[in-house]
């Protein structure tokens, strides 16, 4: 929250990164674990922040990678699979 002239403004980008995304991700992972299968209706943003999965495939962002968590795929490192970030 930002305070200005007795009006509170919500920093939506910060709230998304720190609150909404982790809650959505946790909900998705918990749902997938309970169902025992990968859901096919996860909604992710189109923001391109590539991450490399442990399957050697580059995913567009952590959300799209998390759609494959039920297959045991996790994040190997940030960035594309063919480029290791130090």
d(CA 85, CA 82) in angstroms, rounded, equals 10
pTM score: 0.53
User: DSSP characters for 4-61?
Assistant: ETTEEE--HHHHIIIIIHHHHHHHHHHHHHHHTS--S----------EEETTS-EESS
Q: What is the mean pLDDT of residues 31-56?
A: 81
Specify the length of the chain in residues: 86
User: How would CATH label the architecture of 2-78?
Assistant: 2-Layer Sandwich (3.30)
Asked if 74 contacts 53 with a C-beta cutoff of 8 angstroms, the reply is yes
Predicted local distance difference test score (pLDDT) of residue 31 = 60
Domain positions in the chain are: 2-78
Which pLDDT score is estimated for 27? 73
Give 62's DSSP letter: H
């Amino acid at each position: 929250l930002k305070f200005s002239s007795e009006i509170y403004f919500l920093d939506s980008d910060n709230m998304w990164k720190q609150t909404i995304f982790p809650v959505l991700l946790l909900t998705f992972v918990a749902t997938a674990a309970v169902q025992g299968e990968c859901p096919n209706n996860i909604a992710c943003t189109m923001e391109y922040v590539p991450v490399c999965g442990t399957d050697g495939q580059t995913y567009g962002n952590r959300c799209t990678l998390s759609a494959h968590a039920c297959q045991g795929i996790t994040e190997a490192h940030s960035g594309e699979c063919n480029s290791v970030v130090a």
